[in-house]
Structure 1
Amino acid sequence: MKLFHTFLFCILFNVGFSQSTEQYFEKIRNNEAALTAFFAQMPKGGDLHHHYSGSIYAEPLLAHAIAQDFYLNTQTMTVSKEKQTGTDWVLFSTLQKNGELEAYKQKVMHKWSVKDFNYVDYPSDKQFFESFMKFEPATNGNFEAGLLELKNRAIKENVSYIETQLSTIPCAIQTNDLAKFNTQLRKMVANKNEKAVMQSLDSLYTIFIKNDAKKYATDFNTNFVGKMHNELKIDDKQFTMRYQNFVLRFMEPVDLFKNLVVAFISADSSPLMAGVNIVSPEDGETSMKDYELHMLMFKYCHSRFPKVKYTLHAGELTLGLVRPEELSWHINAAVYTAGANRIGHGVDIAYEDKSYDLLRYMAKNDIPVEINLTSNEFILKVKENRHPILLYKEFGVPIVISTDDAGILRTNMTEQYVLLAKRYPTISYTDIKQFVYNSINYSFIQDKAVKKQLIQNLDSRFKTFESNFPLK
């Protein structure tokens, strides 16, 4: 009986903390500075929609390029380790010698991120997606510094877990003699012949396996991710990181499928590899043309590797970006055809065919949506009540809050929660706390003990955080 009373007291004590925190939160809801202080200290669990290359801030990437004396294209602000043809390529050391380095630093920052972007001179979506290729050479060979930057920043803002999309998996399997499959697969999809598509994918899968696809996955897991993760001691009592493999939407079908097979093998054979994703602009010409085929590819790979989890960028579209009829089916296909475990962005949900049924299905089957407020505002110009977050919440779809590409977007996780609180007054502190727990519960961490420890860690962190309220 004494034990029961002690247990009851602890529950009531913690409920009191939570109520006091809720009251303070409502008091400061319209005060951005106060919200920033509040959310900076609040435990924020995990960041599940996270691109490694887009999350590193431009400053350290530029510093690395200067230290390594890369070449800079003075017109495009692209860097290269090797000399390129043309007169626009200049060594950073030459720029420094000529007294031009500081001026070009600012120009680089404006092309590698959204710093000082004025929404007038250039389309925001192009500004965002074109940034990656400009600084990519500065990320290659510099992953260790980037991972430590992400870890240290996460710890400082009370983020305990990141599930990052680190890198594509190098694979040298030649596909030139398989080019006929590209036309055939597209024709089969156009004729809605799913059975024929699956048979063709089966043939390709057999070819890739015979050509040592597993070797490329093993090498990536062991000699790149595993080696780096362990040597840097990424996981500790304060922080945990796992990695998603990804493929690129703009590739031709055979090459994309080859990479997808290797990505699934990788995720199936290492606890560090959390799952698989697909990236690149969803409104791109090849992305739109092959979207249904891509979903069937994921469906096929799931049949081969049923334990592997995958989240899909789906519905990162809005009216005006594509034709209206193209807003009606991408999330449907990702959920029903591909069988995605999570959805990234999901912005066009209101335009989807039978959206209410789709939302009910996502809620019933625990398929979360990864909400990226700053990203959706900058790339798609969707924010406030145009954003469907409250629609997802109304139907009970699990929600997680994430950053997407914090480096390019010059943001962090704290700002995502500030925007959430300011823009959506019907979302309570209790809701936000649930979103935080969702970010661990719906993560793709394979080791149950690791996930359990992260939840226990969140419990402890929230208890400490909520003990601050009411403020003395």
Structure 2
Amino acid sequence: MTRIITLFCFFIAQIGFSQTAGDYLEKIRNNEALLTAFFQQMPKGGDLHHHFSGSIYAEPLLERAIAEDFYLNLETMAVAKTKPSGGNWQNFSSLKNEGKLSFYQQQVMQTWSAKDYNGSVPSDDLFFDSFMKFEPTIQGHFAEGMLELKKRALAENVSYIETQLSTIPCDMNVSDLTDFNAKLRQASAQKDEKAATKLLDELYKAIQQKDAKKYATDFNTNFIAKLHKDLKIDDDKFTMRYQNFVLRFMDPVDLFKNLTIAFISANDSKLVAGVNIVSPEHGENSMKDYWLHMVMFKYCHSKFPEVKYTLHAGELTLGLVQPEDLTWHINDAIHIAGANRIGHGVDIAYEQNSYDLLHYMAKNNIPIEINLASNEFILKVKDGRHPFTLYKEFNVPIVISTDDAGILRTNMTEQYVLLAKRYSDVSYATIKQYVYNSINYSFIQDASVKKQLLKDLDTRFKTFEDKFSKN
């Protein structure tokens, strides 16, 4: 009798009852292959924390370097178009003729990305050092990279990317303004915002007199708009927008000059969604000038109040910096700079008055960009050490993103696999909300474009979820 009942229940389950996508997700929680297949097909909305050069896989970059016969530094695995003076450089054609190409190809792949990472160098060093090594292969080839990213996004059901494409070229001579470096750092050391703002006023006027706007206009017209239009990036299945960014390691005058131009560019172009700041947050200038950078963002916002910006903040962990340096970066990014989104935010548990800060983020709809694979590789932070649950418990809006998929050798699908596998209390409905967050909290300026992306997401989810219903 028991056997008959069991068979009957199995038969009914096969033909009589419907199954939701959420039901199915709960069944496969601990099976990574099944999770991968599930999330590969699930609509994933947008990738909002995305570095263009770090998202291109090493294979096409290396192929390009070989095809164009770049020079390779046999010690560091950096490449150059023309042979630099000093160092052990050899072009790829001679390596091929000597039968050494395969060996160095493998070395390059392991230096330009996390491929076969074995811990021989610190993971954060490998990651941050890789950019300048392959950078020469990026220049002049933005089109190929953009099409690669679009093709990969379409393949895994990603409909929007907000990428940090390039710094804005600028040859403005600011040698007459270098005295401001010491003055600004003195104000910073004293946390004298009034003095810093007065100095920035003078500096801003001087930069405007050097025709800052022309650099922004040239970038918007002859680079961003031209590439975007010529490549037909936007279509009914995919949309891309761009974030300008500045480099933390620069001295104050150069950084502020670039930041001013970045804000002008974002203010004048609907394709430029916002502004960011990058480079290792634990670097010498990054730490020394962090407060000053936040004041600079606040100042530029006062000049261009419609421009939005997300800030890398709290991409730090215990041991990487002194404990006291974990207590204020996210606070300053939000309360001084007025960031619209926060990237990484890994040190939130150490931040001063972290509960108040989390409540503030939730109340003011300041999303956190969660980068699980990145935080694991660079900071060695994952599972219960990762603050994902902390943000979730305080109802801070969450978006899931890749950071640098090429260097990390990951993709958007894997981020959701890691999320579902590591945090079993995150339901399908919550994951779906994160996907919608990635469009709702994007910096897309055109409301009609955002509305269409949300409508498209509705359609995609219906198609996906219908696969799990048995009528």
Q: TM-score, normalised by structure 2?
A: 0.95
The residue correspondences of 1:251-400 to structure 2 (distance < 5 A) are 251-400=250-399
1:12 alignment counterpart: none
1:158 alignment counterpart: 157
Shift of 1:177: 1.6
Q: Which amino acid aligns with 2:288?
A: K
Q: Which moved more, 1:130-139 or 1:90-99?
A: 90-99
Distance in 1 separating the partners of 2:78 and 2:20:
51
1:6 alignment counterpart: none
Shift of 1:103: 1.0
Distance in 1 separating the partners of 2:403 and 2:302:
29
* C-alpha distance after superposition, 1:113-156 (max 9, x if no partner): 0000012x110000100000000000001110000000000000
1:221 alignment counterpart: 220
Shift of 1:381: 0.3
Shift of 1:87: 5.3
* C-alpha distance after superposition, 1:262-320 (max 9, x if no partner): 00000000000000000000000110000000000000000000000000000000000
Shift of 1:64: 0.7
The residue correspondences of 1:449-464 to structure 2 (distance < 5 A) are 449-464=448-463
Distance in 2 separating the partners of 1:377 and 1:217:
36
Q: Secondary structure at the match of 1:192?
A: coil
Shift of 1:18: 11
Distance in 1 separating the partners of 2:75 and 2:420:
41
Conserved? CA contact 2:71–2:91, under 8 Å: yes
Alignment gaps of 5+ in structure 2: 1-16
2:72 alignment counterpart: 72
The percentage of counterpart residues that share the same residue type is 71
Shift of 1:471: 6.7
Distance in 2 separating the partners of 1:128 and 1:192:
32
* C-alpha distance after superposition, 1:414-436 (max 9, x if no partner): 00000000000111100000000
Distance in 2 separating the partners of 1:83 and 1:471:
64
1:183 alignment counterpart: 182
Shift of 1:86: 2.8
Distance in 2 separating the partners of 1:305 and 1:202:
14
Distance in 2 separating the partners of 1:400 and 1:223:
32
Distance in 1 separating the partners of 2:298 and 2:93:
50
Q: Secondary structure at the match of 1:202?
A: helix
Q: Secondary structure at the match of 2:306?
A: coil
- 2:60 aligned with 1:54: no
2:108 alignment counterpart: 108
Shift of 1:172: 1.2
Conserved? CA contact 1:246–1:277, under 8 Å: yes
Shift of 1:189: 1.6
Cα root mean square deviation, aligned: 1.2
Report runs of 4+ in structure 1 exceeding 4 Å deviation.
none
Distance in 2 separating the partners of 1:429 and 1:94:
54
Distance in 2 separating the partners of 1:138 and 1:308:
31
Conserved? CA contact 1:48–1:163, under 8 Å: yes
1:26 alignment counterpart: 26
Distance in 2 separating the partners of 1:174 and 1:148:
35
Q: Secondary structure at the match of 2:20?
A: helix
The residue correspondences of 1:71-150 to structure 2 (distance < 5 A) are 71-86=71-86, 88-119=88-119, 121-150=120-149
How has the CA–CA distance of structure 1 residues 18 and 168 changed in structure 2, closer, same or farther, with 3 Å as cutoff? farther
Alignment gaps of 5+ in structure 1: 1-16
Shift of 1:470: 4.2
2:44 alignment counterpart: 44
Conserved? CA contact 1:47–1:402, under 8 Å: yes
Q: Which moved more, 1:18-27 or 1:308-317?
A: 18-27
Q: TM-score, normalised by structure 1?
A: 0.95
Q: Which amino acid aligns with 1:446?
A: Q
Q: Which amino acid aligns with 2:214?
A: K
Distance in 1 separating the partners of 2:93 and 2:233:
34
* C-alpha distance after superposition, 1:85-129 (max 9, x if no partner): 13511111111111111111000001000000012x110000100
Q: Secondary structure at the match of 1:343?
A: strand
2:193 alignment counterpart: 194
Distance in 2 separating the partners of 1:372 and 1:287:
21
Shift of 1:193: 1.5
Distance in 2 separating the partners of 1:373 and 1:231:
34
Q: Which amino acid aligns with 2:142?
A: F
Shift of 1:192: 2.2
Q: Secondary structure at the match of 1:344?
A: strand
How has the CA–CA distance of structure 1 residues 245 and 238 changed in structure 2, closer, same or farther, with 3 Å as cutoff? same
1:439 alignment counterpart: 438
How has the CA–CA distance of structure 1 residues 325 and 230 changed in structure 2, closer, same or farther, with 3 Å as cutoff? same
Distance in 1 separating the partners of 2:174 and 2:87:
35
Report the count of equivalent residues: 455
Conserved? CA contact 2:19–2:470, under 8 Å: no
* C-alpha distance after superposition, 1:196-238 (max 9, x if no partner): 1111101111111111100000000100111011000000011
Q: Secondary structure at the match of 1:274?
A: strand
2:7 alignment counterpart: none
Conserved? CA contact 1:18–1:466, under 8 Å: no
How has the CA–CA distance of structure 1 residues 242 and 101 changed in structure 2, closer, same or farther, with 3 Å as cutoff? same
Q: Which amino acid aligns with 1:218?
A: T
Distance in 1 separating the partners of 2:140 and 2:300:
30
